[in-house]
Amino acid sequence: MTLPPGLALERRDGVLMLVGDTERYGNPLWVDFVGGKAAHRRRFGGGRGQLVAKACGLGKGALPSIVDATAGLGRDAFVLATLGAPVLLIERVPAIAALLDDGLMRAARDDDPEVAAIAARMQLCPGDAVRELDTLVAAAAFSPQVIHLDPMFPHREKSALVKKEMRIFRELAGADDDAAELLATALDVATHRVVVKRPRKAPPIEGPAPNHVLEGKTSRYDLYVKQSLSR
């Protein structure tokens, strides 16, 4: 797997980590669905009242099948799976997919049966979502009710102000300039709705206008509704 210069994947104490120069990138990046922020959010994060849950239709009690087509480090997908939804995670950057795979394996083997059950609802599909979604449809394998998108947004801040964790992540993921193509494919494939996470002040992704908008403190969700989700 090719990585940008100065970055490497290393296994430390059984955990796969992305490491780089500490001055520039801060601490290594890894996926932890068991402890830390994930555990805190699982216990105290607000359940179905969370913006991502409402956007995906879980707020009113539905439990749709979901594809997170921009999985990243799996944080949004983990929230959705914690609330009971089956989630297929698609991630195209091999190093990020490797971190996710490692995090999911550790969660699946965890002593806490609740964490293992959440991991069992999360399935990773490494690859580009436009191609993978087309393949799923062509094979008539699976029609997700909801597709969740959270493409990278090109930030304007000077790089010194960007959180170090985000710096290492951006180095890998780039700017996701093809988000409009992904939205078009997602709108073809999802049976019920496509939801797009955006920074609060950012314009919607190029394409049809969203039907609804859910505003949060720092981000919002643009909702493209095809039909309502019943419980």
Ligand X SMILES: C[S@@+](CC[C@H](N)C(=O)[O-])C[C@H]1O[C@@H](n2cnc3c(N)ncnc32)[C@H](O)[C@@H]1O
Residue numbers belonging to the annotated binding site for S-adenosyl-L-methionine? 75-76, 91-92, 150
Comparison of 119 and 173: residue with beta carbon closer to ligand X:
173
Q: Which stretch binds ligand X (CB under 6 A): 65-73, 116-124, 155-163, 217-225?
A: 65-73
Nearest-approach distance from CB 130 to ligand X, in angstroms: 5
| Residue 93 contacts ligand X per CB under 6 A | yes
Comparison of 48 and 170: residue with beta carbon closer to ligand X:
170
Q: In this chain, which of 173, 189, 196, 229 binds ligand X, going by CB under 6 A?
A: 173
What separation in angstroms does the CA of 200 have from each of 107, 160, 217? 32, 22, 8
Nearest-approach distance from CB 135 to ligand X, in angstroms: 12
Residues from 95 through 124 that contact ligand X (CB under 6 A): 96
Closest by CA to 190, choosing from 215, 223, 231, is: 223
Residues that bind ligand X (CB under 6 A): 69-70, 72-76, 90-93, 96, 128-130, 150-152, 173, 176, 182
